[in-house]
Amino acid sequence: MSELGQVLKEAREQKNLSLDELQEQTKIQRRYLKAIEDGDYGKLPGEFYTRAFIKSYAETVGLDFKSLTEQYPSDMPKVERQHVETHVKPPDGSENEHSPKSLRGRAVRAKNWSSFVNKAIVVVFILIALMIVYILVTHLAGNQSKSSADQSSSNSVQYKGDSAPPSSSSSSSSDSASSSDSSSEQVLKKDKEEGTTTTYTLSGTDKFDVTVTAKSGSPAWFAAQDNQTHKQIAEGTVTTNGKKSYHFDAADVQTLYLKFGNAPGTELKVNGKTVELPNENTVQILLINFSK
């Protein structure tokens, strides 16, 4: 058992929490919690999520995660970038010795190939830079367009259906149109926010389609389950380089439990509309009560 694991275990026992009770509060599987206490990080899904799980564990038992990282740096997994070496061969892939004349010819071809590769790398970097600029501009434009809506309803996200009521000159037709418009309105209202957990209520619709998408290059883990029965609906990791999104129907769920391991890198949509996550915490939990 590592020193960090011992400190976490003692804090849990001081709060009279069993591993099963801690699993219920953090929604982290019991075997992962046990592996953290034993310092056996090889059983966890990866270094990035190991740090996120340790942070969630520490906050639940009342410890300061930042202080733990400073006191036990050797026990804390670090996310490191891997360096990949690229070996460029001549176009024919040959590495055998040849005659002086052949070697000169191959040297020229190798030089031309190397020049082509260098130009290709420059083009790739330019395309990546343009893509980043486009994403930033799109994100800023989206935030500006949403600011006016946020001022009128700070705690709710409202959106209307595709159909609009027909216009009419008579007052009775106008009242009927207003009633029809109100019945097609969908509302996702924030009820309360406690730490990393935020509770919403979805009403005014019979649909409950959920889509989870990666916003950046970093992997983003999530889990979804029925909060009443604790039945798992979906779990996985989205990334721009692998599986980009998960989509599932939660119309039969009374309360949907969603947990995100990398909230800043995750995009959540309900019935096709983006839901802005309430804070900048890396690990976040959303509870959505579905009121049909």
pLDDT tens digits, one per residue of 4-35: 888 889 988 998 999 999 999 999 999 999 98
Is residue 142 included in any domain, yes or no? no
Residue 179, domain member (yes or no):
no
Question: Is residue 182 situated within a structural domain?
Answer: no
pLDDT above 50: residue 243: yes
CATH number, domain at 34? 1.10.260.40
CATH of the domain at 267: 2.60.40
Burial track 202-239 (b if 16+ CB lie within 10 A, e otherwise): bebbeebebbbbbbeeebbbbbbbbbeeeeebeeebbb
Q: Is residue 279 part of a domain?
A: yes
pLDDT at 54 over 60: yes
Contact 53, 45 (CB under 8 A): no
Return the minimum-mean-pLDDT range out of 31-45, 83-97, 242-256: 83-97
Please give the structure tokens belonging to residue 152.
């009128």
Residue 218 belongs to some domain of the structure: yes
Question: What one-letter code names the amino acid at 7?
Answer: V
The structure tokens listed for 193 are 């926010």
Structural tokens at position 279: 């804070």
Q: What is the pLDDT of residue 174?
A: 46
Q: 227: which DSSP letter?
A: T
pLDDT of res. 92: 54
Q: Which two tokens stand for residue 81?
A: 């970038």
Res 177: pLDDT: 42
Are 245 and 213 within 8 A, CB to CB? yes
Domain that holds residue 33: 3-75
- Domain stop point among 75, 99, 132: 75
How many structural domains does the chain have? 2
Residue 206 falls within a domain, yes or no?
yes
Instruction: Copy the structure tokens of residue 10.
Output: 């003692």
Question: pLDDT tens digit string along 81-124?
Answer: 544 444 455 555 555 445 566 667 777 788 888 888 999 999 99
Q: Above 90 in pLDDT, residue 205?
A: yes
27 is a domain residue = yes
**Running DSSP on this structure, what letter comes out for residue 64?**
-
